Amino acid sequence: MGYHHGDLRAALIDAGTALVAEGGLPALSVAEAARRTGVSAAAPYRHFPRRQDFVVAVATKAAQELGSAMREAVDAAGDDPVEAVAAAAAAYVRFAATRRTGFDVVYAPELRGVHDEELRHAGRAVSDLILLRAIDATGGDTGAAVDFVPQFMVVAHGAASMNVVGFFTDLDAASDLARRTVRSLLRSASAQTS
């Protein structure tokens, strides 16, 4: 993954993404990303003066990619908002299992209290993807839909976490569990608003 006269910032983020995918958040190192891109150890500091800046950039890319994976699943699910949200949960589990960046970096402790507009936008896009379909599923009950979003995250992130640590050894089973649980929760929320 050498860097050859292009966008050094993007190359470093790609290297950081690969490091996290290989070894989780502890493996994210600006110096190692520089080595992998073939630049001096000092070169990244023009783009990322602090490690936290690098974590934010890698997390932003991860959130954008997670959002894209979930959006594809939602689009493929068709017009039923419950099935769209259930498909998004399964996509979340698959993304986290195959790309640890969605699991480790998006929730990095270094991001607490960080105010980065690009990261906020990427995270908001993921939440809105779920929220808007939950509003549709609940017949326009915004309160019920807002209450559902953290439930979605608990289920999807919980199933992904259990898969990553080896509790679920079958990715299909983990993603299907998330799909079925989210479907059930959203149908229940929809029934309560009817």
Percent of all residues in the chain with a pLDDT value above 70, rounded to a whole number: 94
4: pLDDT strictly greater than 90: no
Closest CA to 94 of 122, 65, 118, 123: 65
1: pLDDT strictly greater than 60: no
Q: Which residues of 153-192 are buried (b: 16+ CB within 10 A; e: fewer)?
A: eebbbebbbbbbeeebeebeebbbbbbebbbebbeebbee
Q: Quick one: pLDDT band at residue 97, thresholds 50, 70, 90?
A: confident
Residue 90 near residue 179, CB atoms below 8 Å:
yes
Q: Quick one: pLDDT band at residue 24, thresholds 50, 70, 90?
A: confident
Domains delineated in the chain: 1-49 (1.10.10), 51-193 (1.10.357.10)
Closest CA to 146 of 157, 135, 154: 135
- Mean pLDDT confidence for 125-135: 94
Q: Report pLDDT for 113.
A: 85
Q: How far apart are CA 73 and CA 75, in angstroms?
A: 5
Q: Report pLDDT for 190.
A: 79
